[in-house]
Amino acid sequence: MYSIIYVEESVRDMPQTIEILNRYQNAAIVDCSHYGELFNRRKQNFRTQKKEPTLIIARKENKRILPIPGEYAIDAKHNFYFSHMLNCLYDCRYCFLQGMFRSASHVIFVNYSDFKTDLTSHIENTEDSICFYSGYDCDSLALDPITDFTRNFIPLFKPYQHAFLELRTKSTQIRNLLTMEPLPNIICAFSLSPNEIVGKYEAKTPSLNARLAAISSLRDAGWNIALRFDPIIFVDDFYTVYKQFFHQIYAALGSRSIHSITLGSFRLPKIFHKNMKRLYPDEPLLINGLSLTNGQIAYEENLEKKLISWCENTLKNLDSVTPVYIQRSTV
Ligand code: SF4
């Protein structure tokens, strides 16, 4: 998949690095001193790079665990996110990473032991519930066969009943999870959209049916499943499309319990939206029906409220048990 891999000198001999490089024997390996020299360089074209991203293997030196942005949290008292990766295999047209990062290169931070030390110290610092989100700057599972993220991080949570880890994903890369003991404090949170939206705006992602099949396998194996409907997109024939979509999900998943549902309508921080419009100037999704609302580019406030409340009511009619959380801001 990668024809060029940049490797920070400081991680060149780490086992995780060696394992990744062994998978790509034909790739050109290029040494670099710090990933930021490549990743944060000016005048890069995210759209062009996305077609054939390079891989950068690096060390995350500091600020490994960060407070979650805006209303990303669900119900834990303390909420943080961390990123063992930057960027994503998939190419969702609405993805805010395109507006946030200068480069589409995939960065994998392989100093897992530093992340684990920081996670443990945060967890042991409190007796309150504490949740960590791993899918903010990337998809948590899409590159799991390469990063081995789940096998490295999930066992850390086993002794701590008050600590939770959310894996947020559109991926069907669940092989590692299926070989592991399911833990009650791990939340496998699947981002789902109607088929019409997957086909139009979620390039390279698994189909809705494939994601539902992955969810069923994980549930059968005993893992917690959560559903993430974010972004809700105001497509033509919205109410018919989303009604059929929600019914399809509940028909596929049956009545067994779901950990949580989150709902958020399409929205972007103003600066990210500006950057994304530069990449896709003719993309109707980034133009039609949007305005500056509460500091973000979003649907007009009344429309947004109407869409979210309709989705919430429709879901509650199908499932009166699972808690539904509304999420508003991206960063
Ligand atoms: S799956 Fe998530 S992180 Fe990946 S491109 Fe889509 S929105 Fe972005």
Nearest CA residue ID for atom 2, ligand 1: 139
The average confidence (pLDDT) of the chain is 95
Tell me if 143 CB under 6 Å of ligand 1. no
Where do we find the tokens 């499309």? 241
331 falls in which pLDDT band (50, 70, 90)?
low
70 Cα: distance to centroid of ligand 1 (angstroms): 18
Residue 141 in contact with residue 174, Cβ under 8 Å? Answer: yes
Phi, psi of 282 (to 5 degrees): -100, 10
Return the domain boundaries, the chain: 60-326
- Whole-model pTM: value is 0.96
60-326: CATH topology: pyruvate-formate lyase- activating enzyme (3.80.30)
Nearest atom within ligand 1 for CA of residue 171: 1
Which tokens go with 97?
A: 């990473």
Is ligand 1 within 6 A of the CB of residue 189? no
Model pLDDT, residue 69: 78
Q: Which amino acid is at 166?
A: E
- List the alpha helices (DSSP H) in 24-171: 35-39, 46-51, 97-100, 112-124, 144-147, 149-153
**Structural tokens at position 171:** 């991926």
Q: What is the pLDDT of residues 232-244, one digit of tens each?
A: 999 999 999 999 9
What radius of gyration do the chain's Cα atoms show? Answer: 20
Please count the helices (runs of H) and the strands (runs of E) in the chain. Answer: 13, 18
The answer to whether the CB of 170 is under 6 A from ligand 1 is: yes
Centre of ligand 1 to C-alpha 241, Å, is 21
Task: Please tell me the predicted confidence (pLDDT) of residue 70.
Answer: 66
Tell me how far apart the alpha carbons of residues 271 and 274 are, in angstroms, rounded to a whole number.
Answer: 5
Residues 63 and 78: beta-carbon distance below 8 Å? no
**Contact between 5 and 22 (Cβ < 8 Å):** no
CA 311 to chain centre: 21
**CB of 88 shorter than 6 A to ligand 1:** yes
SS in 3 state form for 214-270? HHHHHHHCCCEEEEEEEEECCCCCHHHHHHHHHHHHHHHHCCCCCCCEEEEECEEEH
The H or E element spanning position 247 is: helix 238-253
Q: What's the mean pLDDT in 109-120?
A: 98
* pLDDT value, residue 92: 98
pLDDT in tens, 18-34: 999 999 999 999 999 99
Residues 140-198: pLDDT tens digits? 999 999 999 999 999 999 999 999 999 999 999 999 999 999 999 999 999 999 999 99
CA 268 to chain centroid, in Å, comes to 15
pLDDT, position 266: 96
Task: Inform me whether the pLDDT recorded for 308 exceeds 70.
Answer: yes
Question: Distances in Å between the alpha carbon of 190 and those of 72, 112, 144, 205, 287?
Answer: 15, 24, 15, 12, 27
User: Ligand 1: which of 87, 170, 327 to mutate, most ligand atoms within 8 Å of CB?
Assistant: 170
By most ligand atoms within 8 Å of CB, the mutation choice from 88, 98, 211 for ligand 1 is 88
Query: What is d(CA 42, CA 37) in angstroms, rounded to the nearest whole number?
Result: 10
